[in-house]
């Protein structure tokens, strides 16, 4: 399930996210994203080498960013199915097991209701961000 009934993509990336993905792929060419459910690393988008993360039977592929598959658990998808995920980058440490860790910048998921405004998950409303 990669687009909505209106044809809008379910996941997008900002220019900053695309740059960080490129940087990570120089060291790890085959990667994937999984939206964390909030255990150890909050609700961050986690980036893993494809051969080191097993996608679960109930995980939902919501799309691709820069050719990298992006998954979310079925229960999270059910809660967020009315939103578009916008993967961005902010300063800080990445998730403990995520490939953005140690780069002094990390991925952040922003979301917007289809046809609505953008906000960062777990953060106050933020202005719309340029996405590709």
Q: Edge to edge, what strands does the sheet with 83-91 contain? A: 11-13, 83-91, 105-113, 118-120
Question: What is the model's pLDDT at position 49?
Answer: 95
The Cα-based distances of 29 to 48, 52, 94 in angstroms read: 11, 13, 18
* Angstrom distance (rounded) from CA 9 to CA 27: 28
Domains of the chain: 4-113 (2.60.300.12)
Compute mean pLDDT per 10 residues along the chain, 132 residues long, and list them.
69 96 95 78 81 92 96 91 92 77 87 69 42 45
Question: What is the model's pLDDT at position 33?
Answer: 95
Confidence (pTM): 0.80
- Closest Cα to residue 84, out of 61, 56, 118? 118
Question: What is the model's pLDDT at position 132?
Answer: 43
């Amino acid at each position: 399930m990669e687009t909505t009934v209106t044809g809008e993509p379910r996941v997008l990336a900002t220019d900053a996210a695309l740059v960080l993905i490129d940087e990570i792929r120089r060291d790890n060419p085959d990667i994937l994203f999984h939206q964390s459910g909030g255990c150890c690393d909050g609700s961050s988008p986690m980036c893993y080498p494809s051969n080191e993360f097993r996608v679960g039977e109930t995980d939902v592929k919501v799309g691709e960013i820069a050719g990298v598959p992006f998954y979310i658990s079925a229960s999270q998808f059910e809660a967020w199915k009315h939103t578009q995920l916008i993967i961005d980058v902010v300063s800080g440490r990445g998730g403990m097991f995520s490939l953005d860790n140690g780069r002094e910048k990390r991925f952040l998921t922003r979301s917007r209701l289809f046809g609505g405004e953008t906000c960062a998950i777990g953060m106050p409303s933020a202005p719309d961000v340029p996405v590709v």
